[in-house]
Structures are given as structure tokens and as C-alpha cells.
Amino acid sequence: MSKRRKSSVSNIIEVMIIDDSAVVRQTLEELLLSEKDIHLLTTAPDPYVAVNKLKEFVPDVIILDIEMPRMDGLTFLQKLMNQHPIPVIICSSKSEKGSSNAIKALEYGAVDIIQKPKIGTKKFLEESRFRICDAVRAANQVKVKKIEKIMSVSPKFSADVMLKKPLTNTSIDTTEKIISVGASTGGTEALKLFLELLPINSPGVVIVQHMPEHFTKAFADRLDKSCIITVKEAKNGDSILVGTALIAPGNKHMLVKRSGSRYYVEVKDGPLVSRHRPSVDVLFRSTARYAGKNAIGVIMTGMGDDGAQGLLEMKNSGAYTIAQDEASCVVYGMPKEAVKRDAHCCELPLGQIAGHILSKL
């Protein structure tokens, strides 16, 4: 049996890159090598080479391209998850086909999606480094299972950069309810389960799921086909309507606003907040300001603390707030940070959240 090589330093995350583009492999390697806690174990130009290397190397995380010659990434992913489950991050192009297949890969067991890096401005590469390295760290915390069937220190801004804290609470002149939800790693499947349990007359839902641009539309379209309610990628000015869920576009912040009794969303550019764009903190703070006690906030599975402070602001404004419990989280990070701040009114298993919300209306 071949000897399997592992780093002698237990807290180093070992990564394998599988991509047919030498340029992408090199760019990813440069981004990963900038982090002290991440080590590039090996690379492969296609799944066939990867299979042979997996006989020798045991990576903690695999970064996998979808569109490759000889064997595509989806086929390899299915085989991997059935035989030797390892956390997989999909590295995909922004094409319509690439986006659709990347979302399908999440159902096959992949834990996250990143957009293929490209040579660009210093700011673009720096933000790519944050996103990709954080995705690797989050994936390393995921305990993947065999699938039985298809299913440097960065600047960290708070939500202040997008929406200042009000000196006083905004007056509430409507009784319409809205549901604000934030999720990251593991959130695609969590949101699917949650939204499929909502009836057609449920309050309007606004969602931030950490995901690159161009992929959120494919994600929303896929959810729309499986849910009773309407699910769509949000556009600036969209009304928050009963029986509709709006998902923040990748690489854009989404804020809740109100005009009279009408709630709507503002979709806009801005800096990374809590290392993310879209940011859950931005969504939750705006919900606290413009919906207050008429809102319900839900923080779901994900790494880091994005949304924890925003959920506390929602609770302090009179909203009912829910944190997903540890047992049902893929990564118990964001909910854990919310619980540490006492930002939650209750902590629930994923499968009970929708029903509990409906009982509170």
C-alpha cells in the first residue's frame, strides 16, 4: 500500500488543486501560499491524475474545477463522495453553464463555490485571497459523509461603512412582517430545506448567502423550482412581498429599506464587511433599522462572525431572532458567535426553524 504523506504540523490545512489550466493552478497556489495556516500539498491537471495522487497524498481540502477534459468535475465529485469523502470547494467560471453546474455540485456534496481567480488589479487579487482562503478554512471544518443519493490580516469593516447606527429607533408604521436570513458554508442546502417548508402566504424573505457573483442567480433559479414560494435573485428596488424570497446578488450588499408601508431592497456596491460582500451584518442592521419588531432574523450555518452583531441589533430593535443549533450546522461558526453575544431569542435545529417562525406570526 502506498505511503500517504501528511504535514507534521497538525494545524496546517493541506490542499489539493485539480484544474486543467496551468495559469489557474499557479494563481491559486500563489494566493494560498500567502497564508501561514494553508499548505499546497499537490496539484493535478485532471481527475485521472488526481486519482493516482490520492493514493499517495491525503489532502484536507480539494479545490476542484468543474469543466475539464477526459472527466468533468461533477463526475469526479460523485465518485469521490461515494468512495473517499473529502471536503471539496468548486472553482468555476462565471458562465451560465459553469454557474449551473457549480450549484449542482453543492447537491452532490461540495461544500462551497469560489470563482476562478484571474490576473487583475491588486484589490481584486486581495479580495480573491480573502474569499478563497476563508473558504478553505471553512471547508476544513466540515465533516463530509458518503452520499447515498444526489442531493496576512485583512481590513475588517463593520456594517457602519454601509449603514450608520441610528441615534434613535426608526418609527414603525406598518405591521407587515419580513424574515431576514444569513448563511455561509453549508447554507445552500440549509436554505433549500428552510424555504421548501414555507407556505405561499409566508412573509417576504430576504437572504444573504455568501456566494460569488454570477452564481447567486443560478442558485435562486434552482430554489424557485423546488419551493412553493417564489425565489429570485434580488434587483435594486425589488419589493419584499408575501410568498417571495429575495437572494442578495454575489459581490453586492443588500439592504432592507422602507417607503411608507412598503418594504424593498437596495442593492449596492461597497467594501467588504466582516470580510464579505454581500454581508449578513449589513442586511441585519438595515432590517433592524427599517423593520424593527416586525422582523424575524435567522442566522444559519457558516464560518466566522458575519451576522452576529447584526442579529444582536435586530434583537435589540424588538425583532425575534433565531440561531441554528450546533448539531444541524455544517459549520457552527456564525450561529456560535451570535449565541456568544446573546443575540438570539432561541436556538433551533434547522428542520424546526420554518415551523417555529410560522407559529410566531
CA geometry: angle at 350 spanning 349 and 351, to 5°? Answer: 95
Active site residues: 184, 210, 306
Q: Got the DSSP string for 67-97? A: S-SSS-HHHHHHHHHHHS---EEEEE-SSHH
Q: Are 329 and 141 within 8 A, CB to CB?
A: no
198 SS3 class: coil
The torsion region of residue 77 among left (phi > 0), alpha (psi -120 to 50) and beta comes to alpha
Same domain flag for 125 and 174: no
Same domain flag for 176 and 98: no
CATH code: domain of residue 178: 3.40.50.180
Cβ atoms within 10 Å, residue 125: 16
Query: What tens digit of pLDDT does each residue of 232-284 get?
Result: 999 999 999 999 999 999 999 999 999 988 999 999 999 989 889 999 999 99
Same domain flag for 104 and 192: no
Same domain flag for 176 and 63: no
Same domain flag for 187 and 317: yes
Same domain flag for 224 and 196: yes
Cβ atoms within 10 Å, residue 143: 8
Classify residue 5: in a domain, yes or no.
Answer: no
pLDDT recorded at residue 96: 63
User: Cβ neighbours of residue 88 under 8 Å, at least 6 residues apart?
Assistant: 61, 62, 63, 64, 77, 80, 81, 105, 109, 110, 111, 139, 144
Instruction: Please tell me the pTM assigned to this model.
Output: 0.83
Classify residue 340: in a domain, yes or no.
Answer: yes
Q: Which of 108, 80, 109, 104 is nearest to 92 (CA)?
A: 104
Classify residue 147: in a domain, yes or no.
Answer: no
Q: Are 92 and 63 within 8 A, CB to CB?
A: no
Classify residue 8: in a domain, yes or no.
Answer: no
Q: Got the DSSP string for 286-306? A: HHHHHTGGGEEEEE-SBSS-T
CATH code: domain of residue 72: 3.40.50.2300
Is the Cα torsion angle 184, 139, 194, 248 positive or negative in sign? positive
pLDDT recorded at residue 118: 67
Q: Are 314 and 197 within 8 A, CB to CB?
A: no
User: What's the length of the chain?
Assistant: 361
Give the Cα separation of 334 and 331 in Å (integer).
8
Classify residue 132: in a domain, yes or no.
Answer: yes
Classify residue 264: in a domain, yes or no.
Answer: yes
Low-confidence ranges of the chain (pLDDT < 50): 1-5, 7-8, 147-155, 167-168, 170-171
Which among 111, 140, 169 is the end of a domain?
Answer: 140
Same domain flag for 211 and 107: no
Same domain flag for 238 and 354: yes
142 SS3 class: coil
Same domain flag for 266 and 120: no
Same domain flag for 74 and 170: no
Same domain flag for 131 and 168: no
Same domain flag for 230 and 109: no
Residue 59 belongs to domain spanning: 13-140
User: Cβ neighbours of residue 57 under 8 Å, at least 6 residues apart?
Assistant: 4, 5, 14, 16, 41, 42
Which among 108, 140, 172 is the end of a domain?
Answer: 140
Classify residue 153: in a domain, yes or no.
Answer: no
Structural domains in the chain (count): 2
Classify residue 115: in a domain, yes or no.
Answer: yes
